[in-house]
Amino acid sequence: MNEIPPVVFVVDDEAAVCISLKRLLRSVGLEAQTYPSAQEFLRSERPDAPGCLVLDVRLPGLSGLDLQQELRAAKINLPVIFVTGHGDIPMSVRAMKAGAVEFLTKPFREQDLLEAIQRGIELSRITRQNNAEIRTLQRRYASLTPREREIFPRVTGGLLNKQIAAQLGASEKTIKVHRGQVMQKMKAESLAHLIQMAEKLRLSSN
Amino acid sequence: MQFLRDLSSPSPYMPHGYCFLWNRGLTSLHVTSDLLIALSYLSIPFTLIYFVRKRRDLPFHWMFVCFAMFILACATHAMEVWTVWHADYWLSGSVKAITAFASVLTAILLVKLVPHALALPSPAALRLEIAERRRAEDALNLAKMELELRVNERTAGLKRVNEDLLGEIERRKQLEQTLKNSEEQLRLAQEASGLGVWDWDLRDDRTVWSAQHFRMFGLEPSLRRFDKLSLVTLVHREDRSDVRLAMREALRPGGTFNAEYRIQRQDGQLRWVMSRGQTHCDSTGQPVRMIGVTLDVTERRQTAEELRRSEERFRLLIEGIADYAIFSLDPAGFVTSWNIGAERIKGYKAQEIIGQHFSCFYTDEDLRKGAPAMALRKAAAEGRFENEGWRLRRDGSRFRANAILTSLHDQQGELIGFAKVTRDLTENRRAEEAVQAAHAELARVARATTLGELTASIAHEINQPLAAIINNANASIRILAGSTPDMAEVRQAVTEIAEAGTRTGEIVSRVRGLLKKSAPERHPLDINQVIREVLALIPNELEKQHVSLEVELVPTPPRVLMDRVQLQQVLLNLIMNGIEAMNVTFDRPRVLMIRSDARDSELEVMVKDSGSGLDPRHLPHIFDMFFTTKKSGMGMGLPISRSIIEAHSGRLWANSDRAIQGAAFHFSLPAIA
């Protein structure tokens, strides 16, 4: 898989913080894009690349926590690292529960931030990879006939051809043919592989 | 029953006519005779009844009725005629039986009546008796006439006497009326004046009182006479000897009785009375009679007593005032009274200064200018003279004084002196300074109470540049560690480090003046009460700035869980901001409006001024720390207030629409469920 360079998004109303962060990230070879408010971030065209969001909790208008909610609601899967001038426990608990990677209090240790960013990017990569794989599997699944889609979850559910034939009222031989078609169309190397695919597609055996 | 049936059924007998063999002559004879008899008999009772009705005086007239009944019954002869043709012998028999009954009854009654009838006088005897009676009557009439004549004579005499008597009575009545009228006038006059009259006959030691006098002493006026001994028992124990003394005095030739004393009335009331009397002597100069009046003077004495007490109270009040020198002068300016305040402020004791001239309080310069005399002249002419200047204490030290001189006049308008009130202004000034110091202390305490919330804001303010400093430093280290460091980038980073460092230093130095944190305590609070507590602190401020206050409080505000002092500080902050915002408002009324409102599960408070409103350019920054548009402002009030409100899960915001004129700050707090 070819690597797309990751991007770190920074949302902080304090210009000095934005500029210094951008400089720091560049010094470790990371691309950073900064925004002075949550609204500006939401409005912006963002590159399709793995990345993470470094977000100040206290922002004019939409707060950092609000922005996190907005992203979740829009199903934008971007790992969030919160930074705040002062943070209290309830605030950090709320942020972490909502899926934040890290909650850092300014001034943070460089190492903590960079580690969190690294983790965020990694998470982002995995998510992107999973998403790409699922999209491929979905495409393959779409090519199955209705009969094959009936057989697919029964096979991965561990039923024998004979049992499937009895359930669907067809001959064991016909089921065997369909089963070969499913394996072939889904590009499954083995039954175990097909079962993995079924899990990723969240297919139910019944 | 058989009988009735027989009566009603067709007869089995022959009619009587058969007995006469229907001989025409014989039948007609019977029939005619019977009819005539029946008609005659029938006429008789009617004649009798007519007679009886006309002659009601007849004795035994019930007998006539019996006869009438009997004879009517004899009309049964008509029945005889009937039976000639109709054989109803049962019916005719029955009629006959009724007739028989009436006849027998009448016969018996007649027999019984005979002796009574015999006793009735005969007409001859009656005539004789009548003649005799007439003679006796004539004699009687004669005697009667004679008597009447005599009676008339007597009556005439009596009438004359009676008329004389009536005339006499009338005269007496008129006399009495005249007397009564004058007595009534006297009584009314006594009652009106409240005067009781007494008359003491010294020869037999008897006293006569008027009704009013009795009433005054709480006694029944019916007693009319009263002796001296019991009079003395009515006098209050403590006044008896005085009354006795006055009496002895009065008994001297030409003496008068004059005493004012208390009486103990039987109804328990204690009254003050005043008696005046005059002794009258006989030709030998011996006192024989004392006549006088008594008047109830209780009310008059009470009024006088109350007046005296009120004057006393007023005098004590004036004398007791220590903050002002209050003293009086005679028309020439000599001191006539001196209070505690005067003693304290001027240093003279009352006995030292009374009688001295008030010019001794003036400085030499003022004396040379003739200030004391001028003050008296002006006060006398205008009624009041006020001035401010230096005055001397007893020890010669000076003090700045405000003095008011007021002229005093009697009822005729004659000047009788002056009242002078002097205030020591140095004291005043010292008090003002103390108040200001207290205000400063209050402000310091207020800051201390908000520091707890402030630390968060300050931390945020300091941590921002600090974060930038650290990021830049780390970036620089990395860049410099590279094989070809971008020195321009490093220079930029270091410049930014310096800038952020300076900013941090400024914040720290501004915060350094603030005081220690005191632990806030959250309690359920009544916002209206807190508002009122805060309003209690500012009336002076409002007055000074000519700001009027409008307060609209929700009748039953929901409770909010908050630290009282912090809530007070927020309110005080917003209120003071509002007041300050209006100190350049001259073209409209300066109105500060405070409103509490309950909506849903929130409590909202608005503080609004009628100033020029918020500058739209400043609006995004007004809650920033150290942002201020005031010359002496610290730029902490609003951020502190917001941090306090936010710490209590509330919101604080500003509204400065053109529509509302002025600025309105709102905060909302969650109500306690």
Q: Quick one: pLDDT band at residue B228, thresholds 50, 70, 90?
A: low
What is the pLDDT averaged over residues A110-124? 92
Q: Specify the pLDDT at position B517.
A: 45
Q: What is the pLDDT of residue B541?
A: 64
Mean pLDDT over residues B5-18, rounded? 67
Compare all CA atoms of chain B with the CA of A86 and give the residue at the minimum distance: B460
Residue B197 confidence (pLDDT): 84
* CB contact residues (below 8 A), chain A span 115-174, against chain B: none
What sign has the CA pseudo-torsion B223, B227, B230, B236? positive
Question: Of the candidates B554, B547, B667, B660, which has an alpha carbon nearest to the alpha carbon of residue B607?
Answer: B667
Q: What is the pLDDT of residues B102-128, one digit of tens each?
A: 788 888 887 887 788 777 777 788 888
Q: Where in chain A is the domain with CATH 3.40.50.2300?
A: 7-136
pLDDT of residue B509: 62
Which of A10, A18, A22, A24 to probe the B interface (max B CBs under 10 A)? Answer: A24
Gap between the Cα atoms of B127 and B133, Å rounded: 10
Residues B236 and B142: their CA atoms lie apart, in Å, by: 85
Supply φ then ψ for residue B354, to 5 degrees: -65, 130
Mean pLDDT score, A74-99: 83
Sign of the four-CA dihedral A191, A196, A199, A200: negative
CB B515 within 8 A of CB B442: no
Q: What H or E segment, with its residue span, contains residue B452?
A: helix B425-481
Section A184-196 average pLDDT? 90
Q: Is B465 on the interface with A (CB under 8 A)?
A: yes
The answer to whether the Cβ–Cβ distance between B467 and A83 falls below 8 Å is yes
DSSP code string of B76-99: GHHHHHHHHHS--HHHHHHHHHHH
Residue A23 contacts B where some CB pair is shorter than 8 Å: yes
| B543 has pLDDT over 70 | no
Q: What is the pLDDT of residue B77?
A: 73
Report the alpha-carbon distance of residue B5 to residue B120 in Å, rounded. Answer: 51
Q: Where in chain A is the domain with CATH 1.10.10.10?
A: 143-201
- Residue type at B533? E
CB distance B467–A27 less than 8 Å?
no
Whole-prediction pTM value?
Answer: 0.37
pLDDT at residue A46 tops 80: yes
Percent of chain A with pLDDT over 90: 35
The pLDDT value given to residue B81: 79
On whether any CB of chain A is under 8 Å from the CB of B467, the answer is yes
Output the 3-class SS for B104-164.
HHHHHHHHHHHHHHHHCCCHHHHHHHHHHHHHHHHHHHHHHHHHHHHHHHHHHHHHHHHHH
Q: What is the pLDDT of residues B339-381, one digit of tens each?
A: 888 888 888 998 989 999 998 999 888 889 889 999 999 998 9
pLDDT at A122: 93
Nearest Cα residue to B421 out of B434, B440, B408: B408
- For residue B108, the model assigns a pLDDT of 84
Low-confidence winner among A123-137, B465-479, B500-514, B604-618 (lowest mean pLDDT): B500-514
pLDDT, mean of residues B228-237? 73
pLDDT in tens, B473-509: 999 999 999 888 889 999 999 999 998 898 787 667 6
- Predicted confidence (pLDDT) at residue A204 exceeds the cutoff of 80: no
Dihedral pair phi/psi, residue B288, rounded to 5°: -120, -25
| Predicted pLDDT of residue B623 | 81
B494 touching chain A per CB within 8 A: no
At B423, is the pLDDT very low, low, confident or very high (cuts 50, 70, 90)? confident
pLDDT digits (tens, 9 = 90+) for B564-603: 777 877 887 888 888 888 888 888 889 999 999 998 889 9
**Which residue has tokens 């029964």?**
A154
CB contact under 8 A, A20 and B489: no
Let me know if B464 is exposed, middle or buried by CB neighbors in 10 A (0-12, 13-18, 19+).
Answer: buried
CB A12 within 8 A of CB A42: no
Least confident of B304-318, B367-381, B625-639: B625-639
> Given this model, what pLDDT does residue A1 score?
45
Inform me whether the C-beta atom of residue B379 falls under 8 Å from chain A C-beta atoms.
Answer: no
Cα B197 versus chain centre, distance = 40
B630: which 2 tokens? 């005031």
Binning pLDDT at 50, 70 and 90, where does residue B516 land? very low
Residue B638 pLDDT exceeds 70: yes
Across A103-107, A114-118, B510-514, B610-614, least confident range:
B510-514
Domain A7-136: homologous superfamily in CATH: Response regulator (3.40.50.2300)
Residue B210 identity (one-letter amino acid): S
Taking residues B176-185, report their average pLDDT: 82
**Residue B223 vs residues B22, B57, B209, B271: alpha-carbon distances, Å:** 120, 74, 9, 20
Question: Is the predicted pLDDT of residue B222 greater than 50, yes or no?
Answer: yes
What average pLDDT is seen over chain B? 81
Question: Do A16 and B470 lie within an 8 Å CB cutoff?
Answer: no
In tens, the pLDDT along B390-415 reads 888 888 888 888 899 998 888 888 88
Instruction: Tell the burial category of B197 from Cβ atoms under 10 Å away from its Cβ (0-12, 13-18, 19+).
Output: middle
Site of tokens 């005619």: B32
pLDDT of residue B440: 45
Class at the top of the CATH hierarchy for domain A143-201: mainly alpha
Query: What are A47-76's pLDDT values in tens digits?
Result: 888 999 999 887 766 888 889 988 888 888
Cβ atoms B206, B234 nearer than 8 A: no
User: From CA B333, how far away is CA A19, in angstroms rounded?
Assistant: 85
Q: Measure the CA–CA gap between B534 and B529, rounded to whole angstroms.
A: 9
Question: Judging by beta carbons within 10 Å of its beta carbon (0-12, 13-18, 19+), is residue B260 exposed, middle or buried?
Answer: middle
Q: B477: nearest CA in chain A?
A: A27
Residues with Cβ within 8 Å of residue B106, at least 6 apart in sequence: B66, B67, B69, B70
- Across the interface, which of B459, B462, B496 has its CB nearest the CB of A20? B496
Task: Pick the range with the lowest mean pLDDT from A157-161, B208-212, B218-222.
Answer: B218-222
Q: Do A85 and B460 touch (CB under 8 A)?
A: yes
pLDDT of residue B658: 67
- CB–CB of B478 and A28 under 8 A? yes
B467·A23 Cβ contact <8 A: no
Among B283-297, B429-443, B527-541, B547-561, name the most confident range. B547-561
Contacting B residues, span 500-519, partner chain A, CB-CB under 8 Å: 500
Cβ neighbours around B552 below 10 Å, total: 10
User: Using an 8 Å Cβ cutoff, are B611 and B630 in contact?
Assistant: no
> Please, which pLDDT band fits residue A206 given cuts at 50, 70 and 90?
very low
- Cα B257 to Cα B275: distance, rounded to the nearest angstrom: 7
- Res. B514: pLDDT tops 50: no
Which chain B positions have a beta carbon within 8 Å of A108's beta carbon?
467, 470
Q: Is A60 on the interface with B (CB under 8 A)?
A: yes
Nearest to B459 among A21, A83, A85 (CB): A85
Question: Is the pLDDT assigned to residue B448 strictly greater than 70?
Answer: no
Q: Is the peptide bond before A107 cis (omega within 30 degrees of 0)?
A: yes
